[in-house]
Amino acid sequence: MKAFTPAFFIMITALFILIFANLSFFEHVLNVYPLNTSNSGFLLSLAFLIYALLVIMFTLVSFKYTTKPTLILALILSASVHYFMQTYNIVMDKTMIENTLQTDIQESFDLLSIKLFITLFLLGVLPSIILYKIPLNYRGFKVELWSKFKIIMLHIALIAILLFTFSKFYASFFREHKTLRLYPNPITSIYNIVSYTYDQVQERNIPMKIIGQDAAIPKIEGQRKIVIMVVGEAARADHFSLNGYEKETNPLLKQEDIINFSQMYSCGTTTAVSVPCMFSIYNRSDYNSRKGYNTHNVLDILSHAGVDVLWRDNNSNSKGVAVRLNYQHYKSATLNPICESECRDEGMLVGLDKVVSETKKDIIIVLHQMGNHGPAYYQRYPKNFKRFTPVCKTNQLEECSKEEISNAYDNAILYTDYFLSKVINFLKQHEKNSHTAMIYMADHGESLGENGFYLHGLPYFMAPDHQKHVGALMWFSQAFPIDKNSLKNRSNNEYSHDNLFSTLLGIFNVQTNVYKKEMDMLQN
């Protein structure tokens, strides 16, 4: 079999990826720059630009023993990214990279499909096998180094010519259509993987910032407080009947004296961002993972002030929030006694009587739901909650009608309604001897096919409200020392995850210099 030079492998691979793995990029470009006489030259230049960037990138990291492994990894990566971009209309920014790396194996199973394996085989595995079997003609270090130099300079020149020739188009492309830069595959993914890895390395050298060391609760005679904080998963506000949704998704909660916050907005569009952000001292505009993971959060402060803290998780994990606290994982039958096809959220309530009876101190229990985790919404609820039909019974959401997707999603909301009512009933059993309260707040919303978007995780600046406007509500026992009527009057004001930090401090009357009264939902 004839051997080929590294340059040949690189250029053929770049061309293959450009043609077969960048459909999402060109689809979004065509939405902004329709194919016509005035745009055709620019559109062709974009193809050459992506090709040139791929060639330069591959050439820089290709040597005698790395050329084929590098190109094979690029093919597998580009095939994977292509599938998820085409199927769910996501983008692989740094937040999505973080979310992907923090997804556990069980959650990953929800994303597996025949279509995924076919795509990986045709666009990743098959070309990789062909590439692997063709002999490589490596002509020596000096010859290949000179060849690499010429290839890189040639393609840099090509890029310069393209940018100069179509400068008017590229000015608007880079300044006014920043979202389009998130779609080139796998250029964006590789850049963000490198950037995320760099951030993780840097985090190891950042000392932990301990805040709220002055936190204390005044000793006042009276009943202790039992607060359950439920962190919801992927629950968008407009599918709660409490917020006017036409389907009755909250039949049990509407019977309770709950306070519904109809205008609650998330800190991020992924669990990996929103969960640590909502418990952090930082506002959404100031938050990043590096600061969040290396700063004590509100639960740390409550613990320091003398409140018992317990985190029970039926999701992947606490995303770093509970690493210094009492943590229990309920996503397996080891602890969770209610496991069918998967472990149910209500299993986290088992044994809580013993937890609250073993302490006389104030206590906050965080229950992290599996909730409406997609795309397999039909698996997120027991069979007896299949009220809205027909339902989508596959993780290939594009194969289902909007009604089927919505019905499966709404059944999961219905199960959350049941779960929250059980939390309230548990707290009612303890309200004679304690002040009890429940706070429910979803981490982010979810797209269900609107404008071609599915799931969540789009960059915040371009994410639709469906991914940011989340379900949120509170319940308090009758004697809980707050002004409920005043809170109800404010419940339709706009709030966000930014308010949770001071609200949790305020609910336990914690005195500390990091508490901000103006951010406490119970006060303002």
Query: Distances from the Cα of 375 to the Cαs of 166, 318, 395, 397, 409, in angstroms?
Result: 41, 21, 5, 7, 9
**In whole angstroms, what is the distance from residue 417 CA to residue 414 CA?**
5
Query: Distances from the Cα of 138 to the Cαs of 4, 131, 214, 290, 298, in angstroms?
Result: 8, 15, 66, 43, 58
Contact 481, 186 (CB under 8 A): no
Any idea what DSSP says for residue 495? Answer: E
User: Over the Cα atoms of the chain, what is R_g?
Assistant: 26
CA angle 409-412-413, nearest 5°? 90
Omega within 30 of 0 (cis) for the link into 251: no
Residue 201: what pLDDT? Answer: 76
- Residue count of the chain: 524
Token reading at 284: 């959404």
**In whole angstroms, what is the distance from residue 237 CA to residue 248 CA?**
13
**In whole angstroms, what is the distance from residue 505 CA to residue 515 CA?**
7
For residue 230, give the amino acid letter: V
Q: How many CA atoms lie within 13 A of 59 on its CB side?
A: 25
Contact 309, 325 (CB under 8 A): yes
Residues facing residue 469 across a β-bridge? 265
List pLDDT tens digits, range 52-69. 999 999 999 988 889 999
Residue 220: what pLDDT? Answer: 76
Residue 255: what pLDDT? Answer: 97
Omega within 30 of 0 (cis) for the link into 390: yes
**In whole angstroms, what is the distance from residue 14 CA to residue 10 CA?**
6
The β-bridge relationship of strands 469-470 and 264-265 is: antiparallel
Query: Distances from the Cα of 378 to the Cαs of 120, 241, 313, 401, in angstroms?
Result: 25, 19, 21, 14
**Per-residue b or e along 304-323, where b marks 16 or more CB atoms closer than 10 Å to that residue's CB:** bbebbbbbbbbbbbbbbbbe
Token reading at 486: 């005043």
Percentage of the chain exceeding pLDDT 70:
99
The β-bridge relationship of strands 363-368 and 434-442 is: unpaired
Query: Distances from the Cα of 74 to the Cαs of 13, 14, 16, in angstroms?
Result: 9, 9, 11
H or E stretch at 308: strand 308-313
Query: Backbone phi, then psi, for 258, in 5-degree steps?
Result: -95, 160
Residue 27: what pLDDT? Answer: 94
Residue 446: what pLDDT? Answer: 97
Query: Distances from the Cα of 243 to the Cαs of 27, 229, 239, 485, 514, in angstroms?
Result: 35, 20, 8, 19, 33
Token reading at 441: 């707040």
List pLDDT tens digits, range 377-432. 999 999 999 999 999 999 889 889 999 999 999 999 999 999 999 999 999 999 99
Token reading at 66: 């790395």
Burial class (CB in 10 A: 0-12, 13-18, 19+), 478: exposed
For residue 425, give the amino acid letter: N
Residue 100: what pLDDT? Answer: 81
Residues of the chain with pLDDT under 50: none
Q: Is the dihedral of CA 102, 107, 113, 117 positive or negative?
A: positive
Domains of the chain: 6-203 (no CATH), 226-519 (3.40.720.10)
**In whole angstroms, what is the distance from residue 5 CA to residue 256 CA?**
72
Of 89, 90, 79, 88, the residue nearest 117 (C-alpha): 79
**In whole angstroms, what is the distance from residue 419 CA to residue 356 CA?**
19
Residue 203: what pLDDT? Answer: 64
Contact 301, 356 (CB under 8 A): no
